[in-house]
Structures are given as C-alpha cells and as structure tokens.
Amino acid sequence: MKYVRWTLLTLLALVSAGAATLFIMGLGKDSGSMTNRIEINRPVTQVWSYIDDLDKTKKWVSSLKEIKKLTPGNKGVGAKEVWVMEDQNNGGQTMEIFSEVTAIEPYKFVSVNLDDKKSFTGTASYRFEELGPNRTELIVSGSYEFKDGVANFLKPVIMRMAAGKMQGDLARLKANAERE
C-alpha cells in the first residue's frame, strides 16, 4: 500500500511539473509566435508565384482543400479570402480561416490578418530575400492568439506543431518550385 501511495504521489508530482512548465512557457511574449525560413534555388519572381497564384498555393499548403476569393480581382491591401482546411489535429474537421491582406509589396513581402472565427486570430507575413539570380530565401513569420483557455494553456505545444507543419509545407513549396 505504501508503494502505491508513493507511486501515485510521484505521478501527481510529474504531471504537476509538466503543467507548470507549459504554463510558464505559455507566459512568454513570443509563445504564440513562430518563424520558418527556407532557401529555394529559383528566382524571387518564381517563388512569389507560389504565394500569389492560388492554384500553386494549394499544391504546397498541406490540408488546404479550397481557397474562396471574397474580393475577386483584388490582390492588394484589403484583399480577402477564406482558406478551407482539413484540420488533421482535430479529427479532420473542416476549418475556415478568413484572411485579409494588410501590406504587400510584390516580390518583397505580404502580410495578412487571420481569423478562423472559432479558435484563433493572428497575423502572418511572407518575406522574400533575393540571395542571387536564382536563389531566394522565404521567411514566414506568424503570431497567434488563441480564443480557448485550453488552447492557450497548450500554446507551446500547438506552436511547435504549427512550426513543424509550416516547415513541411515550405519543403513542398521548395520541391515544387525547383521542379518547375
């Protein structure tokens, strides 16, 4: 009986330590942010097309099923879209992410506000650095706020998973662009 009690107390201590660690990590000012980078052996104009051309975007963003243009013809500031995603971390449920372009300079950068109306809001930016005539570095940064208390508590885990997904997506973009 004594061993059972000590085992249970040890397990409780471990769970409490893990919860405290998540809580403390979630308090950091950058806990809802991520940045991913990738070098692509193609000119910036070609890499830009994978952000600007919706059909090409669907080829590299995993779980993206459809992009609905809410402001047809507008690709500048104020352009709005809905990205229909299949959320792999939520049993394949459909997720609609509303986006609005807030800043853009073609072949240099684009920034968007994001809102899925249920669980998060945020901003994402794509910056293009020309490294040479046929080399481009794409830097993707995002900052997110979660609407749900549990998601806020798990923010360090969620952001690590999101950064991993983005790195995989950027690897697909690179492979597609370099095959072209």
pLDDT digits (tens, 9 = 90+) for 116-173: 988 889 999 999 999 988 999 999 999 999 888 777 778 888 888 889 999 999 999 9
Residues 166 and 79 in one domain: yes
Tokens 């769970």 correspond to 15
pLDDT band at 17 (very low <50, low <70, confident <90, very high): very low
Number of domains in the chain: 2
Same domain assignment for residues 25 and 35: no
Residue 62, CB-side half-sphere exposure with 13 Å CA sphere = 15
Q: Say which residue, 12 or 101, is predicted with more confidence.
A: 101
Half-sphere exposure of 127 (CA within 13 A, CB side): 10
The pLDDT > 90 percentage for the chain reads 59
Does 41 lie in the same domain as 23? no
Tell me how crowded residue 60 is: count the other CB atoms within 10 A of its CB.
Answer: 19
Q: Rounded CA gap, 48 and 46, in Å?
A: 5
Domain hosting 18: range is 1-30
Same domain, 114 and 43: yes
Same domain for 78 and 158, yes or no, is yes
Q: Do 77 and 87 fall into the same domain?
A: yes
First to last CA, the chain: 67
In this structure, the number of other CB atoms found within 10 A of the CB of residue 48 comes to: 20
* Residues 106, 53 within the same domain: yes
